[in-house]
């Protein structure tokens, strides 16, 4: 994927920044408090082309590089991190189709996904297990010209408002190792036997529907098996999750940046002992530490994005970026609250929202504990004696 020139990149980010300032910030407090799905804002994002950020131009997408992709996610998250939800796993699904789909699958799905007419998601996590992907129980059995999918998926972003999902299921339950028996399917919401379960009430990440998907012998046409080859789903999903972890890292950087900017402004206005609290060394040390950690996370994220664009394997880089950025975000959100004092703890200011949103990045797209193990495994492979 070619790198976007700096002028074009700046124009795109400015456009997103204007959207956040003009349309998002005035309404986010009310929408977030009431946990309302922001239909109008999501439609505006579709008009801006944000459902097709990395989808190739030949299919109607913007065809942007992953660095610009990360910058867009960071900018949106500075305003309201929840806005990245409807386009996050949507792009994971688009990546699976773009990289592994048949020509017909690409022509059928990508143009409508790029325009936002079809909004996608990823059916991966299950009620009985999250990060242990090989332990999934959902299965797909071939029956004539269809596959019948049985099982359920949990914590699915876009579950309520999405139109189609990339769903990982077992097509060979006896495969050893298990991942060789997994396949990925494009499942439309109107498939017979497919339904959406309850909407989950979350600590943060409000306004975005997170649901359970239920498959009861759901009938999926055989031509919706990604790539038309069984047993490749595990690798297809893992490859796409590299970009997913880049977007989660970028979200964390955006939320942390917003928390820092609120804190440094507040510290210069709030007085104690006759002077702004920003003149106290204790506050200065916090601000310096926050800003340094944010920049380090940003650079890790951009490095992973650049390597992804250069066609490199980036499970290590994207894992490191997501791990560090998410932990950093939780730290910065708490430090911002401490600088704000009592005002940071009440809902009049957005600081408490940053604090509630931060854990999503730690848990989502692979828990940090699992990511740490994966990072260590890759490092041991690289430094093998």
At 43-75, the pLDDT tens digits run 999 999 999 999 999 999 999 999 999 999 999
Q: Does a structural domain hold residue 330?
A: yes
Is the same domain home to 127 and 246? no
Q: Cα–Cα distance between 220 and 49 in angstroms, integer?
A: 29
- Torsion angle in degrees (nearest 10) through CA of 66, 306, 244, 231: 110
In a domain, 297, yes or no: yes
User: Does residue 200 share a domain with residue 83?
Assistant: no
pLDDT at residue 362, as a whole number? 98
Q: Is 366 left (phi over 0), alpha (psi -120 to 50) or beta?
A: left
Q: What is the pLDDT of residue 158?
A: 92
User: Could you tell me if 287 and 370 lie in one domain?
Assistant: yes
The CATH number for 125's domain is: 2.40.110.10
Domain that includes residue 93, residue range:
6-115
Place of tokens 């069984």: 230
- Residue 94: name the closest of 124, 126, 52, 128 by CA: 52
Strand-pairing partners, residue 165, are 121, 187
Domains: count for the chain:
3
Residue 302 within any structural domain of the chain: yes
* C-alpha distance from residue 123 to each of 96, 120, 161, 201, 214 (Å): 12, 10, 14, 19, 10
Is there a single domain that holds both residue 96 and residue 216? no
CATH number of the domain that residue 350 is part of: 1.20.140.10
Whether residue 152 is found in the same domain as residue 47? no
240 and 361, same domain (yes or no): yes
- Which residue among 224, 242, 335, 365 is the active-site one? 365
Q: How far apart are CA 106 and CA 223, in angstroms?
A: 12
Among residues 67, 97, 115, the one where a domain terminates is: 115
Which pLDDT score is estimated for 137? 95
pLDDT on residue 98: 98
Predicted TM-score (pTM) of the model is 0.96
pLDDT tier for residue 134 given thresholds of 50, 70 and 90: confident
List pLDDT tens digits, range 240-285: 999 999 999 999 999 999 999 999 999 999 999 999 999 999 999 9
Residues 226, 240, single domain; the answer is no
Q: Is the peptide bond before 256 cis (omega within 30 degrees of 0)?
A: no
- Among 175, 209, 232, which residue terminates a domain? 232
Q: Are residues 260 and 358 in the same domain?
A: yes
Instruction: Read off the pLDDT of each residue in 355-384 and give the average, rounded to a whole number.
Output: 96
Long-range contacts of 196-202 (CB under 8 A, 24+ apart): 196/159, 196/160, 197/152, 199/159, 199/160, 200/155, 201/35
Same domain, 364 and 256: yes
Q: What is the pLDDT of residue 129?
A: 72
Ordered alpha helix ranges (H), the chain: 6-19, 28-34, 39-47, 66-80, 85-100, 103-115, 233-269, 281-309, 315-340, 351-363, 368-382
The predicted pLDDT at position 21 comes to 98
Q: 344 and 240: one domain?
A: yes
In the residue annotation, 365 being an active-site residue is answered as yes
Residue 147 lies in a domain: yes
CA-to-CA dists, residue 199 to 156, 202, 212, 214, angstroms: 9, 9, 7, 12
Number of CB atoms found within 10 A of residue 121's CB? 30
Other CB atoms within 10 Å distance of the CB of residue 68: 22
Cβ–Cβ contacts within 10 Å for residue 202, how many? 16
Model pLDDT, residue 4: 84
Whether residue 304 is contained in a domain is answered as yes
Whether residue 143 is contained in a domain is answered as: yes
Q: What is residue 271's DSSP assignment? A: E
Please count the other Cβ atoms lying within 10 Å of the Cβ belonging to residue 11: 12
What DSSP letter does each residue of 131-187 carry, written as one string?
A: S-GGG---EEEEETTEEEEEEEEEEEETTTT-SEEEEEEES-TT-SSGGGGEEEEEE
**What φ, ψ does residue 54 adopt, rounded to 5°?**
-105, 0
Residue 1 covered by a domain = no
Among residues 180, 200, 232, the one where a domain terminates is 232
Split at pLDDT 50, 70, 90, the class of 16 is very high
Same domain, yes or no, for 56 and 124?
A: no
Contact 79, 57 (CB under 8 A): no
Indicate whether 108 and 211 sit together in one domain: no
pLDDT tens-digit readout, 285-298 = 999 999 999 999 99
**Tell me, what CATH number does 51's domain have?**
1.10.540.10
DSSP, residue by residue, 341-356: GGGGGSTTSTHHHHHH
Q: What is the mean pLDDT of the chain?
A: 96
Does residue 300 lie within any of the structural domains? yes
**Exposure on the CB side of residue 81, measured as CA atoms within 13 A:** 29
């Amino acid at each position: 994927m070619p790198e976007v020139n700096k002028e074009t990149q700046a124009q795109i980010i400015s456009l997103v920044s204007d959207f956040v300032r003009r349309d998002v910030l005035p309404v986010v407090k009310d929408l977030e408090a009431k946990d309302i799905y922001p239909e109008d804002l999501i439609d505006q994002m579709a008009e801006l082309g944000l459902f097709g950020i990395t989808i190739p131009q030949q299919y109607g997408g913007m065809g942007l590089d992953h660095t610009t992709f990360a910058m867009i996610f960071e900018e949106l998250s500075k305003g309201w991190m929840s806005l990245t939800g409807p386009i996050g796993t949507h792009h994971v699904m688009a990546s699976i189709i773009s990289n592994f789909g048949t020509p017909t699958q690409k022509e059928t799905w990508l143009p409508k996904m790029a325009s936002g007419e079809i909004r996608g998601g990823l059916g991966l996590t299950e009620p009985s297990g999250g990060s242990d992907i090989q332990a999934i129980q959902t299965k797909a059995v071939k029956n004539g010209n269809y596959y019948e999918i049985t099982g359920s998926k949990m914590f699915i972003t876009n579950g309520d408002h999405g139109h189609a999902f990339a769903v990982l299921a077992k097509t060979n339950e006896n495969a050893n190792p298990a991942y060789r028996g997994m396949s990925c399917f494009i499942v439309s919401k109107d498939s017979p036997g497919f339904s959406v379960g309850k909407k989950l009430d979350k600590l943060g990440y409000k306004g975005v529907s997170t649901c359970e998907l239920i498959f009861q012998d759901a009938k999926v046409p055989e031509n919706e098996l990604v790539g038309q080859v069984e047993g490749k789903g595990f690798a297809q999903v893992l490859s796409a999750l590299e970009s997913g972890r880049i977007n989660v890292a970028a979200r964390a950087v955006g939320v942390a940046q917003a928390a820092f900017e609120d804190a440094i402004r507040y510290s210069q206005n709030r007085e104690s002992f006759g002077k702004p609290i920003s003149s106290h060394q204790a506050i200065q040390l916090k601000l310096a530490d926050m800003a340094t950690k944010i920049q380090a996370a940003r650079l890790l994220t951009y490095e992973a994005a650049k390597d992804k664009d250069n066609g490199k394997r980036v499970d290590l880089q994207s894992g490191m970026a997501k791990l560090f950025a998410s932990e950093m975000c939780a730290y910065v959100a708490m430090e911002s609250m401490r600088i704000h004092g009592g005002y940071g703890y009440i809902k009049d200011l957005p600081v408490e929202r940053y604090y509630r949103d931060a854990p999503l990045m730690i848990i989502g797209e692979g828990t940090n504990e699992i990511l740490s193990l994966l990072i260590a495994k890759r490092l041991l492979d690289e430094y093998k004696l």
